[in-house]
Amino acid sequence: MWQLYNPNPIGRHVGDCTVRSLSKALDLSWDRAYTMLVAKGFELCDMPSSNAVFGAILKAHGFKRETIPDSCPDCYTLGEFVNDHPNGLFVVGMSGHVATVKDGVVFDAWSSMNEIPIYVWRKED
């Protein structure tokens, strides 16, 4: 299931998926998530949207990174991931995109259900 989620203050929905995803996963405002990414990016001398920056923030908040099994790399969609994981909090990385999945719902500015997940950050209990 997909639910529209776009906390961007002026409604933009391109180029800020890491901000939107972090906002949903950590229950932050868009502004706070953006500021957190910029500060961590400055600290790590990397771009705020890089996997290293985004991942460092998630790790610090109790998420653990896992890879998606490579048995069928082009046929396992985000929608199928959601069906396989009806409970829990996940941040799912796809090629050039990231979205938050919470309790079987993809929260995103557009329906990314047919995208191919590459890795996932799972919130540890």
Q: What's the pLDDT tens digit per position in 45-69?
A: 999 989 999 999 999 999 999 988 7
DSSP letter (8 states) at residue 112: -
Q: Is the dihedral of CA 104, 105, 107, 110 positive or negative?
A: positive
Count of structural domains within the chain: 1
Would residue 46 count as lying in a domain? yes
pLDDT digits (tens, 9 = 90+) for 12-39: 888 899 999 999 999 999 999 999 999 9
Q: Which two tokens stand for residue 25?
A: 């996963």
Mean pLDDT of 6-10: 93
4 within domain boundaries: no
Is 3 a member of any domain?
A: no
44 belongs to a structural domain: yes
- Domain assignment present for residue 1? The answer is no
Domain that holds residue 72: 16-123
Provide DSSP, 61-107. Answer: TTEEEEEPP-SSTTT--HHHHHHH--SSEEEEEETTEEEEEETTEEE
Q: What is the model's pLDDT at position 11?
A: 87
- Is 50 among the domain residues? yes
Mean pLDDT of 89-118: 95
